[in-house]
Chain A
Amino acid sequence: MIEVKQATKVFSSRQGPAINSVSFEVKNGEVVGFVGLNGAGKTTTIRIAVGVSLPTSGTVLVDGHDITNEKAAASKSIGWVPEIPNFEPNAKALTLMRYLAGFYGIDRTEARNRSKDLLASVGLSGFENRKIRTYSQGMKKRFSLAVSLLSDPANFLFDEVLNGLDPEGIHFFRELMRGQKRVNKAILLSSHILTEIENIADRIVFIHRGRIIKTVTREELGAYEGVRGILRIILQNPNDDAISYLKTLGGSLQVQGNEIVLSDFHGDSSQVNAELVKKGIPVREIKFEKTGLEEYFFELIKSADAGK
């Protein structure tokens, strides 16, 4: 569990605080999205939570340990993947992992075995003995993830991890987060792209100009009237039966060849799929999307700025 309490960071007295009295928590078994524009204070907050930056005031508790005053104990249960991983460029991946494992008190043999397994699990098998500087950005992120898993920590802080990843990488990270959530880990996932987060986060914390402006659950976000659902269905052979069934679901219907787009959809996509199959209409693909989250976000920002 991560508890951020009244965290404030002032880099320069001539500028305002980078973050100001930021407070939120990430419970065990929960994925919390941390959303804000560039420069909103997401990374500053995460760096303080990880212990690489000192708060000007306030505290961060990781499983009850103060990250500033009980740094070693708190850091034991943190896995951090920064937006731009920055490791010793001339170190070989396996050697560096074994070095870092030393800080967790993992013995030499175990460190070697675990490092190899983790590198394999993030898709870096065969690259263990290559120097970090030869890694691509995506590989560095995967390496960073492997490092963050070294001690099997109870808390993860992922800072813009999906940026710069290929679709496979994004899928990999999403599945990993789901898996960690299932085993009761606390996960903080920051992003400036709301749609990336809303499918996976249980709660979303919005930060703007260094202040928390809103915290909403996924359900609350879904209930926002500006948010519309769009159902995209690709049928093998769209026929009248299918069209007339889909029209009964409400919203506006557009047919473009094999693809049917149903706007303002509020139902359950899996039920639609089941009904079409029942009617003997083969479904190639069915996809539910939400639009209007950005509008929601901008509305929050607008009201925050107006309140200022």
Chain B
Amino acid sequence: MIIRPFLYDIKKTITSKTVLILVAIILLISLAIIPLTSIRSSGSENNLFEAPILYYHDPNLGSYHYLAYFSNRYGDPISGVTVTVILQGPQNYTKTVVTNSSGLAFIAISAPNASYYVTLKEEIPGQNFSTNLPPTATIKTSTPGAVMALNGQVISPVVDKHNASKSNIQVFYSGDYGVVPSSYSLYYKVVATPFSCFSNCFTEANMTKLGDLSDYREIFDPSIPPGLDGTDEVFFTLFNQTGTAVQSSNFGLFQLRQPPQPIMESNIASSFFSTILGLVIPLMAIIGSYSSYGKDRLTGVLESVLARPVTRRGLAMSRFFSTVAAFTIASAAAVGVVDLVLNSVGGSFLDQSYVLAIIAGLVVEVAAFTGLIFLLSHLLKSTGALLGISIVLFIVLDFLWSLIIFLVTLALGGTGGSFVALQATFYSYYANPAQFLNLINAYVFQSSNTAVQASSLGVTLPAIVLDGLLWTTVPFILFLYLAVKRD
């Protein structure tokens, strides 16, 4: 019977002016991640990974040839990289080229056959690298014009654009004399640890073909069977037309199929979620709870509804769940916007399980603050007192919490930055619903973001789930008790 009033309450909460303004602010802030992402991604997208460098010597032309391929972590080519090769020997030679739209740089230096020290310089705006390549005299090729890999990985993992937790395999290679490779094939084999398979396993006959190389650079998507251990290895070998292995690489399975790692987008997202959303969502929940229940209860407006055929429990639950539902929708929308922005700029969506974890965290924060404000509205006597205490609660839990914990740690004899201080910070997150997203981020990124493993500080999945359940239910149950049993 109260479905329509419940829907009306959701609509009323979500369309109230203050909430609309806050939702608009959240969405605008979500959009503000675009420049942030652009700035960060210009670094990440065009970050100069250790570019693979191929080399061959053409004795007929008397020239030294270097091929370089520059790509980002997705394997997308980076054009406009200035590449300079310097030969230092009896005489010095320098050649500078700029990578083309395919990210390729072909550098040919005509120089007499001699022993040269080789320096490679790479430059894009804001970044400048210099690498020493092997001296020409040390490079021994089987046949004239045969290609050698000097630097970087010819076979390397690159992040899948559509699934950040998965990596594909990029191959950069060239035929003899720098021609477009043909009749080269990539094979792979998953080997369980401990290894029971050695060199005889890595032949065309014993490996699975991934595909042929039809250009200097190709990306392959290896099919990895599920259920393997993260420590298992995947071996890749590039065979030429005669079946000879010309390049090999192997990667731990965890490098190819891994839980969300602290990739740049995730870092941006986690910072955004824990700082911006972690700040605004509690504020929104407080304001929304005040206007949807606290104010109505303390001014007596709620009685005009309570006089209808509805139980106290029914009305209390309707208002609570409509408020939580309204802000869950708003929070999910904000997370969705962030994910879309990151996808449009960075090319990949955030890991789904991470997104779900963040939304679940936001629901916990919303439910906890809604429950607290609803509860306070039964303990206080005036709207002024409710507003005042709500604001104090928000400031303490959102702004002053870290400072308070720091001071408490100092007072107890700890020092800032010590393990004890870190421990106190993490434990304090459990006591503060506004820090719940920090717990989730700490858990998700625990293996790489913190020097000290978060699990050793008590940030474990069962503890987070239990904490979330407590924050979701305890304030709500206390509020419900007072709503049903007291005027």
Contacts and interface: CB of A to CB of B under 8 A. Distances in A.
Contacts of B5: 99-100, 102-103
A71 B484 CA distance: 11
Interface string B279-318: 0000000000000000010011101111111111010000
A222 interface: no
A72 B310 contact: yes
Interface in A49-102: 50-54, 71-73, 75-76, 78, 80, 82, 85-89, 99-100, 102
Contacts of B28: none
A307 interface: no
A261 to B, nearest CB: 45
Contact of B299 (A47, A53, A72, A86): A86
Given A54-B487, A86-B301, A88-B301, A103 B308 contact: yes
Contact of A87 (B2, B4, B301): B301
B5 to A, nearest CB: 4
| Most chain A beta-carbon neighbours within 10 Å: one of B299, B304, B486, B487 | B304
Contacts of A85: 304
A80 B307 contact: yes
Contact of A52 (B1, B307, B309): B307
A75 B8 contact: no
B296 A88 contact: yes
Interface string B407-429: 00000000000000000000000
| Most chain A beta-carbon neighbours within 10 Å: one of B8, B296, B314 | B8
A105 interface: yes
Interface size class of B (residues with CB under 8 A): 20 to 34
A99 B1 CA distance: 12
A102 B4 contact: yes
A86 B308 CA distance: 14
B486 A54 contact: yes
Contacts of B309: 71-73, 75-76, 103-104, 151
A72 B311 contact: yes
A82 B312 CA distance: 19
Contacts of A72: 1, 309-311, 314
Contacts of A102: 1-5, 8
A108 interface: yes
B307 A51 contact: yes
A105 B299 CA distance: 27
Interface in A103-154: 103-105, 108, 147, 151
A99 B8 contact: yes
A82 B302 CA distance: 13
Nearest to A104: B309
Contacts of B305: 100, 103
Nearest to B304: A87
Nearest to B305: A100
Nearest to A71: B311
Contacts of A87: 301, 304
Given A102-B2, A102-B4, A103-B2, A75 B304 contact: no
Interface string B308-335: 1111101000000000000000000000
B310 to A, nearest CB: 5
A50 B307 contact: yes
A50 B486 CA distance: 15
A50 B299 CA distance: 18
Contacts of A82: 303
A137 to B, nearest CB: 15
Contacts of A50: 307
Contacts of A53: 487
Nearest to B16: A90
Interface string B200-217: 000000000000000000
Contacts of B300: 86
B310 A103 contact: yes
A129 B173 CA distance: 74
A105 B1 contact: yes
Contacts of A75: 307-310
Contacts of B8: 99, 102
Interface string B354-370: 00000000000000000
A262 B314 CA distance: 60
Interface string A272-299: 0000000000000000000000000000
Contacts of B306: 51-52
A167 B307 CA distance: 28
Nearest to A54: B487
Nearest to B318: A103
Contacts of B2: 102-103
B2 to A, nearest CB: 6
B220 to A, nearest CB: 58
Contacts of B3: 102
B319 to A, nearest CB: 12
Nearest to B4: A102
Nearest to A96: B304
B484 to A, nearest CB: 9
A71 B310 contact: yes
A253 to B, nearest CB: 51
Contact of A86 (B304, B312, B485, B486): B304
B205 to A, nearest CB: 72
A103 B4 CA distance: 8
Nearest to B314: A72
Contacts of B299: 86
A85 B301 CA distance: 9
Nearest to A91: B12
Contact of B304 (A88, A105, A151): A88
A134 to B, nearest CB: 16
A52 B303 contact: yes
Nearest to A70: B311
A73 B309 CA distance: 6
A73 B4 CA distance: 18
A105 B486 CA distance: 27
Nearest to B11: A99
Contacts of A147: 304
A95 to B, nearest CB: 8
Contacts of A108: 4
Contacts of A88: 296, 301, 304
A99 B312 CA distance: 17
A45 to B, nearest CB: 14
In the complex, the 5 A-B pairs of residues with the closest C-beta atoms, listed nearest first: A102-B4, A103-B308, A52-B303, A75-B309, A102-B5
22 contacts: A54-B486, A71-B310, A71-B312, A72-B309, A72-B310, A72-B314, A75-B308, A75-B309, A76-B309, A80-B307, A86-B304, A87-B301, A88-B296, A88-B304, A99-B8, A102-B3, A103-B1, A103-B2, A103-B305, A103-B308, A104-B1, A104-B308
Interface of A: 47, 50-54, 71-73, 75-76, 78, 80, 82, 85-89, 99-100, 102-105, 108, 147, 151
Given A100-B308, A103-B5, 17 more contacts: A50-B307, A52-B307, A71-B310, A75-B307, A75-B310, A80-B307, A87-B301, A88-B301, A88-B304, A99-B4, A100-B304, A102-B2, A102-B3, A103-B310, A104-B308, A147-B304, A151-B309
